[in-house]
Amino acid sequence: MVSNETFKGSFTQQEPIPDEAIAAAVAVLRSGRLHRYNVEPGKLGETAMLERDYARWQGATYCLAVASGGQAMQIALRAAGVAPNDPVLTNSFTLAPVPGAIHAVGARPVLVEIDENLLIDMTDLATKAERSGAKFLLLSHMRGHLCDMDRLMDIADAHGLVVIEDCAHTMAARWNGKRSGNFGLAGCFSTQTYKHINSGEGGFLTSDDPDFIARATILSGSYMLYERHGAGPAPAHYDVPRYEMANMSARMDELRAAILRPQLATLEENAKRWNARYDAVAQELEGSNEIVLPRRLDGEFMVGSSIQFRLPDRDAASCRDFVGRAAARGVELKWFGAAEPTGFTSSHAHWHYAERQSLPNTDRVLATLFDMRLPLTFSLEDCHLIGRIIRDVAGDPLP
């Protein structure tokens, strides 16, 4: 037992913004031109250059920079043709902005069960696609867990589902070498502080469909200045949507774009650094008689910026006590089985704007599911220490 060890670090402290990004941000501030369309004649602004650079990095034809990952999802749903009261399938294990985006466009979330590895249940997906008549799937790669994307797309094709990927936790992740976000009609990404590149808030929408991205661009609030985008389609694709799509004022600004663009250069390396931290914690937890880690699929290249595990034999009181005792040792855990939403953490029972649905397997998994951030400010030694503390608090002797 190692009951005297305590962690002193912060679970919310991110790495500093790179000097190059700070210099770019200062240049934007000195120019006074913070609005993405307020650029000097003949020049491409920071937001347009970011769209161009991110599209190239992602391997997508088009990219639209927006104010948040949640706005990326809302705009994607509207641009894909989701109408009020349409059923939209999505994972039962996700965060509130995902069903929130469905609700915001007037549609109805139809929640799909998950399995013990936190992945969407393919059998339940096929069943609910058939029964609900849904034509859209907002697939959440929740906490960076990629399902078998080949099998999922086969099911989507068989049931006529348009797939929109929520990649807030899988920027830089891949399935069999193909980037997350490149499987369906569109990929939605977040640049909120706790994601893989950091502008405080922000997001991207990527696609290979020119008519879809034209509709999305007008929806984002282009004021008919769509030709100033860095990775948009030819002007002819805007001929119809420029009259039909509402302006939702969801643009990214020049300051956030300036902060983000230099961060792309280190994204791949940072993915490896996150995975090393994930592996360090997992190494300490593996072999435990109390703790169960989700199994990662062979085709997945993850980005381990957080880690999840279950204590399947615990009741609610024991789970609550476990969180408190871990906190007393400096380890901040989130528990998805809590009766009330706390901070960023909630479950389907808390989303009262969505129709209550029977999800027994999801409820069983979430009842003992814990979640922990792994910021890059943690050293590998920190991660090993955290893993030892978790195992000790769980009452499982270390080898």
Instruction: State mean pLDDT over 22-46.
Output: 96
Looking at the chain, the whole-number percentage of residues with pLDDT higher than 70 is 98
pLDDT at residue 399, as a whole number: 64
Instruction: State mean pLDDT over 57-65.
Output: 98
Instruction: State mean pLDDT over 104-122.
Output: 98
354-392, pLDDT tens digit by residue? 999 999 999 999 999 999 999 999 999 999 999 999 999
Residue 398 in this model has a pLDDT that exceeds 70? no
pLDDT at residue 105, as a whole number: 97
- CB count within 10 Å of CB 26 equals 12
- The pTM of this model reads 0.96
pLDDT at residue 213, as a whole number: 98
28, 32, 54, 36: which is closest to 220 by C-alpha? 36
Q: Are 335 and 370 in contact (CB under 8 A)?
A: yes
Tokens 């700070």 belong to residue:
22
pLDDT at residue 42, as a whole number: 86
C-alpha span between 372 and 341 (Å, rounded): 16
Which alpha helices (H) appear in the chain, and where do they start and end? Answer: 19-31, 46-58, 69-80, 97-104, 122-132, 149-158, 210-221, 241-244, 254-260, 267-285, 316-328, 360-366, 380-393
Residues of the chain with CATH 3.90.1150.10: 266-393
The CATH class, in words, for 19-265 is alpha beta
177-208, pLDDT tens digit by residue? 999 999 999 999 999 999 999 999 999 999 99
Amino acid at 248: M
204-222, pLDDT tens digit by residue? 999 999 999 999 999 999 9
Instruction: State mean pLDDT over 90-111.
Output: 97
Tokens 């997945």 belong to residue:
300
CATH of the domain spanning 266-393: 3.90.1150.10
